[in-house]
Amino acid sequence: MQVLLVQFFEGGGVDVEKEDLSRYEFTILKLPLKLFPIVPICTDDRDLAYATAMVGKLLPPVIISGKQWLDGRNRVWAARQFHDTHIEAIDIYDIIDQWPFPCLGLLKS
């Protein structure tokens, strides 16, 4: 999980070492999919075939910061296609509360 987070932070231009993350105890949340807004799947290097291959698979948690949904659009899409009702998430609000790029959307209350 820490590798996933390090890659995520690096992709966002945030310098975080794996050792820095080891002091955090991440709780895996089980969130209802209905909290996540509908967004299109990613269309850069990960296309529909990539997202479709995720359907029905055990996937890494999506990443949120408080009510901001930061990462995992294809995972949420795949879970919806599989008719899941919940998805696992990690909340990184304690590490960084203001992300340097726009979030995918805000979780519904």
What predicted TM-score, i.e. pTM, was given to this entire model? Answer: 0.83
Total domains present in the chain: 1
pLDDT of 90 higher than 70: yes
Q: For all residues of the chain together, what is the average pLDDT?
A: 85
- pLDDT of amino acid 109: 86
CATH at residue 74: 3.90.1530
- pLDDT of amino acid 5: 80
Domain that holds residue 6: 2-106
As a whole number, mean pLDDT of residues 16-25 equals 69
Judge whether 90 and 1 are in contact, CB under 8 Å. yes
- The CA distances from residue 33 to 9, 82, 106, 109, in Å, are 24, 12, 13, 12
What's the pLDDT tens digit per position in 41-87? 876 677 788 888 888 899 999 999 999 999 999 999 999 999 999 99
